[in-house]
Structure 1
Amino acid sequence: MILVGVVAVVGLAVVTLLQLQQREGRRLGQGEQVYHVAEAGIHYYRWHLAHNPDDFTDGTGGPGPYVHEYRNRDGEVVGEFSLTITPPPPGSTIVTVRSSGRLNGDPVGNRAVVARLGIPSLTRYAVAANDVMRFGSGTETFGEIHSNNGIRYDGIAHGLVTSACSTYDDPDHTGPNEGCVHTHQPDPNAVFLGGRQYPVPPIDFNGLTADLSVLRDEAIANGIYLTDSSAEGYHLTLKTDGRLDMRRVTAMANCSTRRNIFLPWYPSYSVGTESSFTYLGGSSLNVPIPSNGVIFVEDDVWVDGQVNGSRVTIVAARDPLTTGDAQMIVNNDLTYTNYDGTDAIGLIAQNNFSTGLFSEDDLQIDAAIIAQRGRAGRYYYGVPTAFGPYYSPSGCGTGYYNRAVFTNNGAITTNRRYGWAYTDGTGYAIRNLNWDADLQFAPPPFFPTTGSFDVLNWDEED
């Protein structure tokens, strides 16, 4: 009798344990199902933003939370997810979505996930171009490189190099067509450390005109908006106290050049004389950087200085926006204080973004750069010979033909062929193009974007 009783007790314990394990299994299974319901909410809203990128109210126009039924494969309603949406701050594309999932009759309760979604800016590329591109042996890039045309790359590329073309006739030499991403170095594997790929979808450069219109509206409403200077343009110096000095450039440095006797003279693109002016009834010096970070100038612009905690986008563009020719020039260092994403500078030139003759020998530009209709690079200032180039007054460019190091910490977008160096050895001997990953989804204010919403990060909420 005692033995039978012991067996009965043990048997009951085993049955009870199995029942508990089954219940725990069902509980865990239901917990995973609830998690999938919450996940479905994130996927749904990413789909919604792909079709309505400016809608952060789930199509209702009113406040959330926004509740949706969740159906299984048979179309049966088995639960729901509830969305809480935090729109992007001004000038950003990052939206935060919290999705809480629940199963009908589930004793476990809700589970929630929080995701940050953002549209990649043009700053996703270290260099993006709409023209044929050549990167010389003195170039080293970190980050992706893309061109809508062909690319010859003879330096070192640490990121993926892509092209939108399928065949390429390199204009720099004769011979048969080559790959759209190719090198003239003996070992391609030592060049394309991040790989290469073509064809890939192109970047829409024409769409940048609409972005200029948005930036002008923002500058007029809440930023700094400067009309034509009736002179050479403006010189803006950013400062670490969150302010800037604005000066009117009355004359460029007196030094012009031309390649040969058949071509016109072009200037030094360096500031000669300048003066402050009256701005909003006061001085144009020591003006606060606007809260929305947008400065729009309807003239040529020289920029330099340093920021500390500021995020700013500067535009040089004239009417009409589709065909204007405003340029931007940086001849002296333009740098961050903080390299953790706190500081951000965007520089958008309607035509060319350039460095002039009297640029620093070791020039650093911490910024995302766009040359919307023109090129990004240094103007050609060659060593004078009897057959050109020529300088006026004679000898005015002596000592400035060859520069040492150009460094960009940010990103460069150029419509036409870029270049800070030339095959005759003039320009910048070393070019360091360092992609700033912090700018990809947290670009400068109102900076142009490309593509659709991507998931930046995804976490379960405790």
Structure 2
Amino acid sequence: MSDNKQPTTYNRQRGREDNPQSAICNPQYSLYSRGQLSIQVLLYGAITILALTGFLTWTDSVINSVYREADRAQALSIAEAGIEYYRWHLAHAPEDFQDGTGQPGPYTHEYIDRSGSVVGTYTLAITPPIPGSTVVTIESTGALASNSDIEKVVRVRMGIPSFAKYAAVLNANVRFGQGTEIFGEVHSNGGVRFDGIAHNLVTSAQDQYDDPDHTGQKEFGVHTHVNVPPATGVTDTVRTLESPPAASMDRSDVFLVGRQFPVPAVDFAGITTNLSQIKTDAQASGFYRPTSTTGLGYEIILKIDDTFDLYRVNSLITPPSNCTNTAGQDGWGTWSINTKTLLGNYPMPANGLIFMEDNIWVSGRIDGVRVTIAAARFPDNAVTRPSITVNSDLLYTSYTGNDVISLIAQKNINIGLISSDILRIDAALMAQNGRVGRYYYQGPTTSPNRTNCSPNHARTQITSYGMLGSNQRYGFAYTDSTGYATRSLIYDTNLLYGPPPSFPITTDAYKIVSWEEIK
């Protein structure tokens, strides 16, 4: 038998693979391999080109985005420059809302860099304050000279702070007793004794003072007689821990936010000028009445239909038997109306100013109205200064700042003898020369056995929503439980930059109330 065998299929294939001449000897195989390689090269080349193109496109997009962001930032800076410019303008011309042109806006200014080149422009749209408010709205649009497609718009509200920045501001020593709770800042140019609860800062212009309610050494400008926890109650004698040279303690049980003293005093003298101007403006385009020659003053009842009823007050309620001025208070009386005569119903004046040269009694409710009611006589005479009295609720319908009332009296803001047991006053109250409060009406006594001013000597609760300013010592209650047992003073934050018409302001400097980027 022969040892030569025919190669198997496997051997034939392997032999072809192992033979370097096989590809040359097989032209069909060679063409196939080269074609396959060309397709692979083209495929990888296309992928590389696509990837490179995408990368270049992305890089270009990123670069453009960076440039656009830089342009946006510069446009925003230009818009803010417009705001700062007009803030500077108002510092020099506080009542000019037409950019010094005397013409309606908008007003466009070039924005120039240090080299003198025009980089862009800012355009100002200015909305003046509504009557009686100090808040001006400025909208500044910043645009680039190099890219007109990009604009940034900033809207800012600026205002002059009013006298109504405090829940209570006083020009004399004051005592806030137990049962008093105040939501808002409290300041006095005199000393402050605070035995209630203060939810905001309490300040005094005095470093120390002699508390008139007891004898002994001087105490801190702001101090309390509430006993240090865990003890309770109040000690009325001088408190050595609340007196120099002791350090002022942290009394967060009374002063929830803290106390500061001394701080700069608040100027009450400027209110005189405001009253005189209110009279002039009321005579020109508001509502004005002179002294009532046949009555004791006027009653105003505000209505939600933007009108008010006006009455002439003919007589007051006579004090009960043995109800007398035992405290010797100036101007004491019941301050409660007995008879009156309707004079008419009148629309609320467009400028929101009602001025009367006589005593005024006020009550009622408003809806969407901003009004200032003032009582004063000129030339000023301490003997004839009129007061304003509130014996029944004086209310807002809305508490968003749309409803605003202020009562400004040349003498006192009174709560009379015949007043609501639960009384609410929504208003900014200002007593220029007198005090905000209730006269002392003595309660019943057993020796001698007299009813005196009972049963109206003691009332349950009074709530003041707004603010109060008092030149003399304020008070709705007394230490013998006469007056209002519970007193809540709630600050209306809308009053700071949106005060009632022609309400006194504290400074001529505009401050930013709000800032927003709207585009």
Q: Give me the TM-score of the superposition, normalised by structure 1.
A: 0.89
Which residue of the partner structure matches residue 339 of structure 1? 399
Match for residue 385 of structure 2 among 325, 330, 348: 325
CA contact (8 A) 2:351 2:501 kept: yes
Aligned length: 450
Which residue of the partner structure matches residue 195 of structure 1? 258
Cα 1:347–1:265 shift into 2, 3 Å: closer
Deviations for 1:383-426, whole angstroms, at most 9, x for unmatched residues?
Answer: 365999x9xxx856221111111111111111111000111221
Give the Å deviation of 1:211: 1.1
Which amino acid in the other structure matches residue 454 of structure 1?
K
Which amino acid in the other structure matches residue 420 of structure 1?
F
d(CA) in 2 for partners of 1:75, 1:160: 49
Give the Å deviation of 1:165: 3.0
Which residue of the partner structure matches residue 338 of structure 2? 272
Which residue of the partner structure matches residue 213 of structure 1? 276
- The residue matched to 2:208 in structure 1 has which SS? coil
Which residue of the partner structure matches residue 296 of structure 1? 355
d(CA) in 2 for partners of 1:413, 1:81: 42
Which residue of the partner structure matches residue 325 of structure 2? 258
Which residue of the partner structure matches residue 286 of structure 1? 345
Choose between structure 1 and 2: higher strand proportion: 1
Give the Å deviation of 1:93: 1.5
CA contact (8 A) 2:417 2:441 kept: yes
Match for residue 233 of structure 1 among 297, 313, 324: 297
CA contact (8 A) 1:258 1:265 kept: no
Match for residue 454 of structure 2 among 383, 393, 398: 398
Choose between structure 1 and 2: higher helix proportion: 2
Give the Å deviation of 1:375: 0.6
Deviations for 1:351-377, whole angstroms, at most 9, x for unmatched residues?
Answer: 111111121211111111110111100
Cα 1:265–1:16 shift into 2, 3 Å: closer
CA contact (8 A) 1:258 1:264 kept: no
d(CA) in 2 for partners of 1:162, 1:20: 58
Larger radius of gyration: 2
- The residue matched to 1:373 in structure 2 has which SS? coil
Aligned: 1:109 with 2:150 = yes
Cα 1:243–1:65 shift into 2, 3 Å: closer
Cα 1:312–1:265 shift into 2, 3 Å: closer
d(CA) in 1 for partners of 2:276, 2:153: 39
d(CA) in 1 for partners of 2:272, 2:331: 30
Cα 1:180–1:69 shift into 2, 3 Å: farther
Which residue of the partner structure matches residue 64 of structure 1? 105
Which residue of the partner structure matches residue 87 of structure 1? 128
Give the Å deviation of 1:67: 2.7
Which residue of the partner structure matches residue 454 of structure 1? 511
d(CA) in 1 for partners of 2:331, 2:504: 34
- The residue matched to 2:516 in structure 1 has which SS? strand
d(CA) in 2 for partners of 1:387, 1:106: 91
Give the Å deviation of 1:143: 1.4
Which residue of the partner structure matches residue 408 of structure 2? 348
Unaligned runs of 5+ in 1: 277-283
Which amino acid in the other structure matches residue 363 of structure 1?
L
Give the Å deviation of 1:77: 4.4
Give the Å deviation of 1:44: 2.2
